[in-house]
Amino acid sequence: MRYPENCTPENGSEPKNKSYIRFLHALPNDPPVNVDIYVNGKLIVRNFKYEDFTEYLPAHSGAYTIQIFPTGNHIEQLFSAHITLENGMSYTAAIIGTVNDVGLELFADYSGEINKDYAYMRFINLSPTSGGVDIYIDDTPAVYDLNYMEVTDYLMLESGKHTLKVLLTENNERVVSHPNIVLKGGNVYTTYVVGLASGRPYIEVLIPLEGSSYLKY
């Protein structure tokens, strides 16, 4: 991958305030499909692999065109989208769907006040075949029937170790079980449910730290 010092919006403007954006490859396929990402016609991310995140890229606020291609094939475009970034915000742009129906969804990171005594966590279902999922933290239900592309509010959780389980709502099948997730007070996390309910790659979760925990604007 290569990362630019900044991205300039389509209108060429350079406002004083900046935003941040990172990309998530959540497009499941067997075999995996690596992709190249272009922003306003410039190659920004090369050979991007399934389940990977880029670093946060600083970007001026404004409108951008995102194009996604299979790595090394810049003729057969998988998807293109127009997005708008606001001043002082950080975002995760997730490549989602299936190889026959690729999409890009932009998720804004947490922008509220942070109590340093608690960790903050939300949940996003990016599994295109899971139907609804139920998510438990420490055997306590956190969310029921979270469907594809749905996003929860943030929960405030005690700092320390936690267990996390994901079950398919339809049949109560446990598809993910993590016994030792360590959350730190003052940090913000998103749990992404990715993968396929049947076939490969199978459902799992990604729990990265959000940029609102450490980025400076």
3-class secondary structure, 213: helix
The answer on 135 and 88 residing in a single domain is: no
Token pair of 100, please? 């026959």
Please check whether residue 135 lies inside any domain of the structure: yes
Q: Is residue 157 part of a domain?
A: yes
Q: For residue 14, what pLDDT is reported?
A: 46
84 shares its domain with 15: yes
Beta carbons of 36 and 45 less than 8 angstroms apart = yes
68 and 137 in a single domain? The answer is: no
Residues 118 and 19 in one domain: no
The tens-digit pLDDT sequence of the chain (217 residues) is 223 334 555 555 444 568 999 999 999 999 999 999 999 999 999 999 999 999 999 999 999 999 999 999 989 999 999 999 999 999 999 999 999 999 999 999 999 999 999 999 999 999 999 999 999 999 999 999 999 999 999 999 999 999 999 999 999 999 999 999 999 999 999 999 999 998 899 999 999 999 999 998 7
For the entire predicted model, the pTM comes to 0.91
Contact present, 189 and 125 (Cβ < 8 Å): no
DSSP state of 209: B
CA 178 to chain centre: 19
Last residue of a domain, one of 49, 75, 109: 109
Residue 199's domain is classified under what CATH number?
A: 2.60.40.2890
Separation CA 48–CA 61 (nearest Å)? 24
Domain range for 183 is 112-210
CA atoms within 13 A on the CB side of 210: 27
- Is residue 163 included in any domain, yes or no? yes
Of 86, 109, 132, the position where a domain reaches its end is: 109
- Give domain status of residue 216, yes or no: no
pLDDT recorded at residue 11? 52
In this structure, what DSSP letter does residue 168 have?
E
What's the rounded Cα separation, in Å, for the pair 76 and 91? 27
Task: Report yes or no on 185 lying in a domain.
Answer: yes
* Domain shared by 82 and 182, yes or no: no
Q: How far is CA 153 from the centre of its chain?
A: 15
Q: Answer whether residue 217 is part of any domain.
A: no
Report the C-alpha gap between 4 and 71 in whole angstroms.
Answer: 19
1 and 99 fall within a common domain: yes
Does a structural domain hold residue 6?
yes
| pLDDT score of 1 | 26
Is residue 125 located within the same domain as residue 93?
A: no
Split into its structural domains, the chain has a count of 2
Q: What is the pLDDT of residues 36-87, one digit of tens each?
A: 999 999 999 999 999 999 999 999 999 999 999 999 998 999 999 999 999 9
Torsion of the alpha carbons at 3, 94, 216 and 121, rounded to the nearest 10? -150
CATH number of the domain residue 89 falls in: 2.60.40.1120
CB contact at 8 A, 200 and 183: no
Same domain, 163 and 104: no
The answer to whether residues 95 and 36 belong to one domain is yes
> What does the alpha-carbon distance between residue 55 and residue 27 come to, in Å, rounded to a whole number?
18
Claim to verify: residue 76 and residue 117 sit in the same structural domain? no
Which of 109, 126, 154 marks a domain boundary?
A: 109
